[in-house]
A and B are shown apart, each in its own frame.
Chain A
Amino acid sequence: EPEVTQTPSHQVTQMGQEVILRCVPISNHLYFYWYRQILGQKVEFLVSFYNNEISEKSEIFDDQFSVERPDGSNFTLKIRSTKLEDSAMYFCASSLAGRGEQYFGPGTRLTVT
């Protein structure tokens, strides 16, 4: 069964460094998303992406964040200058056009020290 994959599973970085989190959505899906879950808190929406552009973003998704679909399979989230409060589990998700179900990857745990 097709699934969303994410790499790395765990990323440790120092404050101020740039990180890139990678996702491979399900191959025939056209909508892509990033969510995050700070330990002990709700899963929060960051951004959605469709037709090579951002379709919606939350207040969390400020100028430090960017997304890209560099080729036909990868979908990336870049944090330019990480802060301690960026430490969280980051989930990628994808959905088929015209369908409501979003399928999630296993997540990348980002630890900023």
Chain B
Amino acid sequence: GEDVEQSLFLSVREGDSSVINCTYTDSSSTYLYWYKQEPGAGLQLLTYIFSNMDMKQDQRLTVLLNKKDKHLSLRIADTQTGDSAIYFCAETRNQGGKLIFGQGTELSVKP
């Protein structure tokens, strides 16, 4: 079946890089996403990658996709205290299709 797994917690120092990892089981995944959720807020779409890509960079964010191992990662360069939030990995098979979410990784950035 479809499943997405993430580690629950990550703690880094301000200025360091953060790497949040995600694994998924659905080999038919077409789009893979990273969402950010700050306390009391909704889900903010950070970035996404098509399954035919292996890397996407957007300012401080770098997404790496290893399709063979079904492994997705989000690297945040120069992590700031404002990056403290829960980060969700999600995948879908097709445009307009349902998103399957991981359980979220809580990123804590210490000054």
Contact surface of A with B, Cβ cutoff 8 Å: 4, 31, 33, 35, 41-45, 48, 50, 55-56, 58, 91, 93, 95, 97-107
Contacts and interface: CB of A to CB of B under 8 A. Distances in A.
Contacts of A97: 96
A36 B39 CA distance: 16
A7 to B, nearest CB: 13
A34 to B, nearest CB: 10
Contact of A56 (B45, B48, B97, B101): B97
Given A100-B50, A107-B42, 7 more contacts: A43-B90, A56-B97, A95-B95, A101-B48, A102-B45, A102-B99, A104-B44
Given A100-B30, A100-B48, A101-B48, A45 B42 contact: no
B95 A100 contact: yes
A104 B42 contact: yes
B28 to A, nearest CB: 14
A99 B9 CA distance: 31
B92 A100 contact: yes
Contacts of B97: 48, 56
A99 B97 CA distance: 10
A106 B41 contact: yes
A16 to B, nearest CB: 28
A102 B35 CA distance: 10
A103 to B, nearest CB: 6
Contacts of A91: 42-43
7 cross-chain pairs, A with B, having the tightest CB-CB distances, nearest first: A45-B98, A106-B42, A100-B31, A104-B43, A43-B101, A31-B96, A104-B42
